[in-house]
């Protein structure tokens, strides 16, 4: 089955700096890559996703890039703010269409 690895496990940045979280996946047939944000004690919520026919996608301060050849994708957050502090999860979808496999998460801390 699919295996997703996520790095780093913790990331601390100063407010206004950029943050980058990287994920690799094992199944070359995976074609859907969402990113979820989970605040402390809350449910995970989708913040952005990308499909295999697209190399990059942006939504305001958030962007995701995908390199299918290398089987990795990344989340980029620019101009970070304290409210961006949370755990971020990447995920990949198997082509069998049955489920998402999640990375282990990155704890992002944005220091004022």
Binding footprint of another protein on the chain (CB under 8 A): 1, 6, 9, 31-32, 34, 42-46, 49, 51, 89, 93, 95-105
Three-class secondary structure of residue 55 per DSSP: coil
**Cβ 70 to another protein, closest distance in Å?**
21
CA distances 85 to 12, 15, 28, 95, 96, Å, are 9, 10, 31, 32, 34
Cβ nearer to another protein, comparing 17 with 51: 51
CB of 91 to another protein, least distance (A): 8
| CA distance linking residue 89 with residue 57, whole number of Å | 17
Residue 73 or 105: the one with the smaller Cβ distance to another protein is: 105
Q: Which is nearer to another protein, 18 or 95 (CB)?
A: 95
Of 78 and 101, nearer to another protein (C-beta) is 101
Shortest Cβ 92–another protein spacing (Å) = 11
Beta-carbon contacts of 78 under 8 Å, excluding residues fewer than 6 positions away, are: 18, 61, 63
What contacts 70, CB < 8 A, 6 or more positions away? 24
């Amino acid at each position: 089955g699919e295996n997703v690895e996520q790095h780093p496990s913790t990331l601390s940045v100063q407010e206004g700096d950029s943050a980058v979280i990287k994920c690799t996946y094992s199944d070359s047939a995976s074609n859907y890559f969402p990113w979820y944000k989970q605040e402390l004690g809350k449910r995970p919520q989708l913040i952005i996703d990308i499909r295999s026919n697209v190399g990059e996608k942006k939504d305001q301060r958030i962007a995701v890039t995908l390199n299918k050849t290398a089987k990795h994708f990344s989340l980029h957050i620019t101009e970070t703010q304290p409210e961006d502090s949370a755990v971020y999860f990447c995920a990949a979808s198997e082509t069998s269409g049955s489920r998402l496999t999640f990375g282990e998460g990155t704890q992002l801390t944005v220091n004022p």
